[in-house]
Amino acid sequence: MSVFAPAMGSIWKQLEGYGIDPAPVFKEAGIDPDLLYDSGARIPVQQFHDLEAKAIELSKDPHFGLTNAHFARPAHLGALGFAWLASSSLRDAFQRMSRYSKVIQDRLQIGLEEDENHYSVTINANTDFPNPVIREDGQLAATLKFCRVIAGDQLTPARVCLRHEEPADTSKYYGYFRCPVEFNSETTQLVFNLEDIDKRLTGSNDELANLNEHIVVKYLAHSEKQDIVNQVKAAIIDGLSDGAVTEKSVAESLFTTPRNLHRKLQKQETSFKILLTEIRKELAMQYIQDRSKTLTEISFLLGFSEVGSFSRAFKNWTGKPPSDARQDVA
C-alpha cells in the first residue's frame, strides 16, 4: 500500500511553520525530500505513518490534523490537484476526486451521495492509522481547504461528521469548519448545501481540467503495472495516442503473443475488448467536455476510423449521441 509522495509537501511546510527543520524528520522516516517534487513517486504507507508520527511528536500540537490544512495545497496532488483547480463546480471536482482517489492513497475511497437539500462527501481511508483522530481531522480539514480554494473562503458546510469522540475543547473545530460538528458519528463526512455544489466556479477551465484528468488516467495505469490488466490499460492509452491500437500491437508492446495475452486476461475475467472499451469510454467523457476538439478529432484520438463508429459507441455507452452530450456540457 502506498501514498502519493508529493502529498507529503504539506507536512514539510507545516514543520517549517513550527520552526522545525523538516529534512532530518523526513530522513528518519526514510523519505528522500526530492520525492516531493517527483510527480510519479509513491512511498510505502508505513513511511508516511512514521513521518506523521514523528512530526506530531516534535510539534506537540494536539490539533496537528487541523493545522495541516493550512499548509495543504491542491498542487500537492499533482495532475489531480490541477484538475481540481480547473473544475467547473464543486460537484465536478468531487466526482474527479472520487474517481481517482487511488492517486492519493491506494485504498482511499470517497463516496458521494445527495438528497433534496444536501450533498455528502464520505471519506474512508480503509487503513489503520497510528494517530486516527489527527488523521481524520486532517482528511476533512484538507478537503474543505481544497473546496475553499476554488469556491471561496466563505464556503461553509451544512455540517461535519467525525467518528472520534468529542474532545474537551471543541473551539478549534468550530473555528475552522464554521458549522455544526457531529462527533461519535458512523462516518467521516462533509455535508454541503446542495445549492453550493453546482455553482459555476470562477477559475473553471474545462480544457485544462480534462488535460490533467487524462494525465491522471495515464499515471494510474502506469503506476499499477504490476498486474496484467493495468499493463494492458497503459499500453492501450499509449497506443491510442499514436493512432489505432490492436490486441496484436498491445501484445507486442508487452513482449508476448496475442494468444498468451488473451489467456492472461481471461484469468482476470476480462479481455482486451473490454479494457479497450473502458479506456475509450473514460477518455471520451473527458474529450467531449473540451469544445475545442471536434467530434472527428475525438474519434481519431480514440482509434475509431470514422465519426459514425464513435457516435454509435458513445450512444451505446451513455444512451445519447455525443452531440447531445456536448450540448449538456454547454
**Angstrom distance (rounded) from CA 79 to CA 61:** 31
Find all residues with CB under 8 Å of 258, minimum gap 6, and list them.
247, 248, 251
Report the chain (330 residues): mean pLDDT per 10 consecutive residues. Answer: 88 95 92 88 88 93 92 91 93 91 86 93 81 89 95 94 92 94 94 93 87 84 70 82 81 88 89 91 82 84 87 89 72
> Residue 307 is placed in which grid cell?
465519426
In-domain check, residue 59: yes
Q: Please report the sign of the dihedral spanned by the C-alpha atoms of residue 4, residue 191, residue 65, residue 133.
A: negative
pLDDT number for residue 256: 87
pLDDT number for residue 328: 62
Same domain, 25 and 90: yes
pLDDT number for residue 146: 95
In-domain check, residue 211: no
Contact 35, 42 (CB under 8 A): no
CA-CA-CA-CA dihedral for 15, 21, 26, 28, to nearest 10: -120
In-domain check, residue 205: no
Domain count, the chain: 2
Classify strands 118-124 and 109-114 as parallel, antiparallel or unpaired: antiparallel
pLDDT number for residue 321: 86
In-domain check, residue 50: yes
CATH classification at residue 169:
3.90.1520
CATH classification at residue 309:
1.10.10.60
In-domain check, residue 32: yes
In-domain check, residue 90: yes
Which phi and psi (to 5°) does residue 193 adopt? -70, 135
pLDDT number for residue 131: 82
Same domain, 175 and 237: no
pLDDT number for residue 125: 81
In-domain check, residue 202: no
Domain boundary among 197, 212, 247: 197
Same domain, 17 and 158: yes
Same domain, 238 and 162: no
**Reduced to 3 states, what is the DSSP secondary structure of residue 192?**
strand
Grid cell 458546510 is found at 157
Quote the Cα angle for 285-286-290, to 5°.
115
Same domain, 247 and 172: no
| DSSP character at residue 168 | S
Q: Please report the sign of the dihedral spanned by the C-alpha atoms of residue 6, residue 119, residue 191, residue 164.
A: negative
pLDDT number for residue 206: 85
**Angstrom distance (rounded) from CA 175 to CA 196:** 20
The secondary structure of 287-307, three-state, reads: HCCCCCCCHHHHHHHCCCCCH
Same domain, 180 and 263: no
> Residue 28 is placed in which grid cell?
528518519
For residue 77, the enclosing domain spans: 2-197
pLDDT number for residue 204: 87
